[in-house]
Structure 1
Amino acid sequence: GPQGPRHLRPLLDTVLDALHTGTHARGGPLPTGGPDTVTAAVHDAAGDLLPDRGDPDALRTLVHAFAAGAADPAHPLCAAHLHCPPLAVAAAADLAASALNPSLDSWDQAPAASALETLLTRTLARETGHTDGLVTTGGTEANQLALLLARETHGTVRLVHGANAHHSLPRAAWLLGLPDPVVVPAPAGTLDPVALDDALTRLPGPRGSVLVAATAGTTDTGLIDPLPDIAARCTAHGARLHIDAAYGGALLFSDHHRAKLTGLDAAHTITLDLHKLGWQPVPAGLLTVRDAHDLAALHHRTDYLNADDDTEAGLPDLLGRSLRTTRRPDVLKLAVTLKTLGRTGLGALVDQVCAHAREFADLVHDDPRFHLHDRPAISTVLFRPAHAPDPAVAAVRRHLLTTGRAVLGRARADGRLWLKATLLNPATRPDDLRALLTLVHRTHAEGPR
């Protein structure tokens, strides 16, 4: 309301102060002590969460504890997951979305938000070579929707995916009651087109009864499947193609890296996720579609949200834009980011993190104390202490976590366990990369604890 900003401003000062003091108290990328210590600190700060009398200091107390116990993706040594540091401008836009609190299930709850969502989804769809798109909570929901649209368009479909595919794809097939997926080998970390061709040759059914899912940016290694070759095999066999580009999709913004996604536009549906390589607060996913008519499968009528006479009178029908009813306006932070940075600004951020990954890989490659798995395809680097057995690699990671000194991921490739650095922070410096490598070496050299 009219008085909202006046009431909110002092609370923002409280939040920003508590974020500062909590981050200072943490002192590193992760709180020290491990799960038991963090849980005890949260319980101590929270106390009775539903007291008889309210606590006027609750905002400051709990935000401080939240920050002190956070994994901070803005810290250069927090590099485990596809978990990016959000841009300040995106976080600020998200505050406005929360304050206004539109719900995108009917036009009378979200007039401007619904218009902006249409602009945003079509803008990003055009980047992929598609015509329209839906805002989702992330890659998992987008992948689930892709399978649902395929099923509703063609009847029961059989999912075919590489052994490197994200776990959300077979899980979506299970959730939708589809037949067990066919898993195609990915011996080099990417889907093998020859093995795919063999699988498609053996599968019965009419055209469109098979859905092939390819990946543009795997979670473990960041590798991109050979999209043009896969698309050609799908065309030859009449199979529908979905590409999970939750990680790699933002390469479209970069003039230097865009070519890695050649063949993306051949897909019927594409998953994007800009809270990965897009620097957005969670959630910020999308599903784009080549044929907007596929979205008709989501049409649903309920009188209090999209009555026929209201729709005929010109009120937009929003209920068919998602499987969810209540939807927050995540579109605002995305639109503000695109407008503020433009394609050049976003492309520069993509180029920076990819360059950081190449630099870190060079450091690993040139250091005889480490083994490098491979050169990075996007911004993920797998490495391990030389001659270390898998249990020692796992122990190094866990010790870094529980001491709060660094946050690294883990991945299994070529039959071995690797440490995973997912570099999504454009502000990372060369000294930070060297410090991370030194920290891993010292932790390994200290031996078991």
Structure 2
Amino acid sequence: MSNTMYAELPQSGPDLLTREKETYPDIFHEGAAAEYSKAITGAHDLVVNFLHRNRKPFSGIPAAELKAAFAAIDFDTPLPDYESLLQEVQELYVKHATAFHLPEYIAHLNCPVVIPAIGAEVLIAAINSSQDTWDQSAGGTLMEQKLISWTCNEIGFGKEADGVFTAGGSQSNLMGLLLARDYYATAYTQHNIKKAGLPAEASRYRIFISEKAHFSNHKNAALLGLGEQSLVEIKTDERFRMNALLLQEAIEREISQGNIPIAIVATAGTTDFGNLDPLAEIGRIAARYKLWYHIDAAYGCGLLLTEKYRSLLNGMELAHSVTIDYHKSFFQPISSSAFIVRDKKYLQLLRMHVDYLNPKDEDYDDLNQINKSVTQSTRRFDALKLWFTLRLMGKQKLGAYTETIIETAEKAAEVIALDSDLELLSYSDIGVILFRYAPEKYKGSDLSALNQYIKKALFNSGEVLVASTRVNGDFYLKFTMLNPLTTLDHIRHILQLIKQHGAAYHPKN
């Protein structure tokens, strides 16, 4: 190589470092502190304005109007500065973002978030650790493992328990059914599904769920190659909880038909009713028939934090696996969830080694969290949010929030039950209330159409957001209580608005 060619190579030293800092101010590095501060300050101001200006959970903007505003966006033409960017985001997103933190938001399973966890988000995004292997997140790995261990202990599992943070409850439920399927095949027929695919008898595998279980069970059964036909839905009792007697009868019936029961999925906190299946009784049935027992506690996991209501989770310790959603009931920002197993040996079914990531000859194999994951390699350090929360606030304060929510929901249900214009469908173990507006003057009318009108009117005004569902074909309004700031006075105000909109309804002849 000639001297001329050598001369074309960049030279080291202060001049090169200066050029790099000037050329790459947008990259997060030691020379970009000022740019970082500018971006963070702008985002901070947007959030503060969001808190100060929002007085109702939704702006009420029509979808067509908001879509029209997006039509003018051209990604080929960057904006000139942060001020322009933040103004655009304010108009297109922040102004119309759903405000989960307001007491008038009682629609879906979205909780208000605690401030320490929001602070953690700044570190998570900036440092950008990946939780798949030890060499990518040393301290982060140990923090995650410590929090998993704490969760295992709260459930009532022993020292052999383990788990991993996940993106959400649906993913954790997928992992539960995956282990149930592969554990049965390996333990009882010595068939390795990971290597050989589904065995011929897999078409006869049966998984028992409540008729009110989360829809992810159906999606996951399809993804696992078992199909929805593998799911046996068990009827519920008057509180919409799995009927354990009918469960046992269903297991016996499937066996008599030549099918192969492999698992039971119980729900600790149904989406539509906030009630818990009889976990201990189901656990005993699972043990009697040697079935994998998974508990979907994505919603009900918040009961772990309380002294007053913790007994509702009795029997959770009998499960082989558990779904936990910290971002539903621990007041954490999305996403923050976990999949927990009673014995870490079950996670061996997920393990796979590759030389470029987690080779078998590593001396820290038990510190590679990717060995416990099924659908994520690169993975955010979401555990830091829960670490911030527990270390600064403690379990007791979070538990007090949950107790407040349950007590407010109980009082709200009583108010609805005593109101002659309203019809309460069911009481809740946690905080979901199903009811409908059904005054005497509308008896004989289409009550579903009436309540659909009310929900739409509330949404279009943005003043209150409620959810809805259908039970036996009938349309009901739904309150989902996840905010300790929502008081009984808020509930009374919301009910008054429901009545006002209902009174304005004119049924079609």
TM-score, length basis structure 2: 0.83
> 2:253 matched to which residue of 1?
202
Quote the offset at 1:146 in angstroms: 0.3
Letter in 2 for 1:427: L
1:136 paired to 2:136:
no
1:327 paired to 2:379:
yes
CA change 1:363–1:53 in 2 (3 A) is: closer
User: Which of residues 56, 61, 68 in structure 1 aligns to 2:87?
Assistant: 61
The one-character-per-residue Cα deviations of 1:355-402 (angstroms, maximum 9, x if unpaired) are 221122122123222111222210111121124510111111011111
Counterpart contact for 1:21–1:64, Cα < 8 Å: no
User: 1: CA distance between counterparts of 2:259 and 2:394?
Assistant: 40
Counterpart contact for 2:264–2:292, Cα < 8 Å: yes
1:275 alignment partner, SS class: helix
Letter in 2 for 1:366: L
Alignment of 1:40-79 (within 5 A): 40-43=68-71, 47-51=73-77, 54-65=80-91, 66-79=93-106
User: Which of residues 165, 176, 179 in structure 1 aligns to 2:213?
Assistant: 165
> 2:490 matched to which residue of 1?
432
> 1:408 matched to which residue of 2?
466
User: 1: CA distance between counterparts of 2:451 and 2:271?
Assistant: 19
Counterpart contact for 1:241–1:267, Cα < 8 Å: yes
Quote the offset at 1:287 in angstroms: 1.1
Larger Rg, first or second structure (1 or 2): 2
1:276 alignment partner, SS class: helix
User: 2: CA distance between counterparts of 1:202 and 1:429?
Assistant: 48
Gaps of 5+ in 1: none
Counterpart contact for 2:134–2:367, Cα < 8 Å: yes
> 1:363 matched to which residue of 2?
415
Further displaced range: 8-17 or 108-117 = 8-17
> 1:233 matched to which residue of 2?
285
Gaps of 5+ in 2: 1-28, 186-201
CA change 1:162–1:430 in 2 (3 A) is: closer
Further displaced range: 361-370 or 291-300 = 361-370
User: 2: CA distance between counterparts of 1:178 and 1:92?
Assistant: 42
CA change 1:226–1:339 in 2 (3 A) is: same
CA change 1:219–1:125 in 2 (3 A) is: same
> 1:186 matched to which residue of 2?
236
> 2:20 matched to which residue of 1?
none
User: Which of residues 282, 302, 308 in structure 2 aligns to 1:250?
Assistant: 302
Letter in 1 for 2:351: H
> 2:433 matched to which residue of 1?
381
The one-character-per-residue Cα deviations of 1:223-256 (angstroms, maximum 9, x if unpaired) are 1111122112222222221111110011011001
1:118 paired to 2:149:
no
Further displaced range: 235-244 or 75-84 = 235-244
CA change 1:52–1:225 in 2 (3 A) is: closer
Counterpart contact for 2:206–2:260, Cα < 8 Å: no
User: Which of residues 342, 361, 369 in structure 1 aligns to 2:394?
Assistant: 342
Counterpart contact for 2:254–2:261, Cα < 8 Å: no
Counterpart contact for 1:18–1:61, Cα < 8 Å: no
CA change 1:229–1:424 in 2 (3 A) is: same
1:149 paired to 2:179:
yes
Quote the offset at 1:418 in angstroms: 1.2
User: 2: CA distance between counterparts of 1:43 and 1:381?
Assistant: 40
Letter in 2 for 1:91: I
The one-character-per-residue Cα deviations of 1:243-302 (angstroms, maximum 9, x if unpaired) are 111100110110011011111111111111111111111111111101110001111111
User: 1: CA distance between counterparts of 2:390 and 2:312?
Assistant: 21
Counterpart contact for 2:254–2:260, Cα < 8 Å: no
The one-character-per-residue Cα deviations of 1:321-344 (angstroms, maximum 9, x if unpaired) are 212111010010012112222221
Counterpart contact for 2:466–2:478, Cα < 8 Å: yes
Quote the offset at 1:414 in angstroms: 5.1
CA change 1:354–1:315 in 2 (3 A) is: closer
User: 1: CA distance between counterparts of 2:474 and 2:366?
Assistant: 57
> 1:33 matched to which residue of 2?
61
Quote the offset at 1:39 in angstroms: 2.8
Superposition RMSD on alpha carbons, in Å?
A: 2.3
1:279 paired to 2:343:
no
Quote the offset at 1:412 in angstroms: 2.1
User: 2: CA distance between counterparts of 1:8 and 1:208?
Assistant: 58
> 2:39 matched to which residue of 1?
11
Counterpart contact for 1:354–1:378, Cα < 8 Å: yes
> 2:369 matched to which residue of 1?
318
User: 2: CA distance between counterparts of 1:391 and 1:39?
Assistant: 28
Further displaced range: 29-38 or 159-168 = 29-38
Quote the offset at 1:203 in angstroms: 2.5
1:304 alignment partner, SS class: coil
2:466 alignment partner, SS class: strand
Counterpart contact for 1:208–1:239, Cα < 8 Å: no
Percent identical residues: 30
Letter in 2 for 1:150: A
> 2:355 matched to which residue of 1?
303
Counterpart contact for 1:208–1:238, Cα < 8 Å: no
User: 1: CA distance between counterparts of 2:452 and 2:78?
Assistant: 46
CA change 1:375–1:4 in 2 (3 A) is: farther
TM-score, length basis structure 1: 0.93
Number of aligned residue pairs: give it: 446
1:241 alignment partner, SS class: strand
2:436 alignment partner, SS class: strand
User: 1: CA distance between counterparts of 2:366 and 2:346?
Assistant: 22
> 2:126 matched to which residue of 1?
99
CA change 1:342–1:108 in 2 (3 A) is: same
Letter in 2 for 1:143: N
Letter in 1 for 2:493: A
Letter in 1 for 2:489: D
Quote the offset at 1:208 in angstroms: 8.7
CA change 1:53–1:193 in 2 (3 A) is: closer
Further displaced range: 358-367 or 4-13 = 4-13
